[in-house]
Amino acid sequence: MPIAVKELHPYMRFDVNVLKYFHHPNIVKPIGYCLEGAQIFLVYEFMSNGMSMDLTNRELPLVTKVKIVVGIARGLVFLHKTLSKKIMPRFSESPLYRHNIFLDKDYTAKLSDYDVSIFVGIPPRIPNICIDGCIELLTNPTFYGVVFLEVLTRHQIIYLDKLRMIESFFIHYGKESLLHISKLCFEICNEVDSESKMLTTLEEYDKLIRERLSDWLRDTKSMDRLSVKF
């Protein structure tokens, strides 16, 4: 079977019992580990559709996009509410990196390496601005809103001005803030009908995105119409 392998820093504490907590439909499944001398390797299931940050190059139907954003939310809720209590109290303060969101062959979103360094004794990384294509490495669900917009619009958001332009776009056309919709998605993600609810909510948004958003972002006058503050 195809696998993915991640090498951890050598000479660090590693408790294999931690792996038992990583079982959820929206978490990349850990298959095992390998210890050889000071080297530590974690073995994961292979995610054939790559990272969510690659979606800017793919035209996907709205139903698939909704499946992705709901899946990401479910994975985050699992990590925050379950792992933070079982592993360490400050777990939920660790930032999620965009490149740690993967897609399997069916476009099910799965989170991987949620700062696994916390579990092996490496000091957590400190949030910075505009690193690895992120506006900020923020704690969730704030950062989730940015990923939500990227999946829905197919535009990678690196700078705050672009986020403001996209949000102003929807407000200009009489729609609610898409960041607000992302919060709703986060809140209802574990409901049985969450995907159908989000699909209904986002149908008009998707039409606007396909027909008008690219022109709006190319129009320099749009910068003069920014009305969203963060």
Query: Which amino acid makes up residue 73?
Result: A
Q: What is the pTM of this model?
A: 0.79
Query: Is 88's pLDDT higher than 50?
Result: no
Stretch 27-51: mean pLDDT, rounded?
A: 82
Is the pLDDT at 24 greater than 60? The verdict is yes
The sign of the CA dihedral 29, 157, 68, 127 is: positive
**CA 182 to the chain's CA centroid:** 12
Architecture label for domain 48-225 = Orthogonal Bundle (1.10)
pLDDT attached to residue 132: 35
E strand residue ranges, the chain:
3-8, 30-36, 39-45, 101-103, 109-111
Q: What is the mean pLDDT of residues 83-93?
A: 47
Residue 64: name the closest of 151, 191, 145 by CA.
151
The 10s digit of each residue's pLDDT in 122-177 is 333 333 333 333 333 333 345 788 889 999 999 988 888 888 899 999 999 999 99
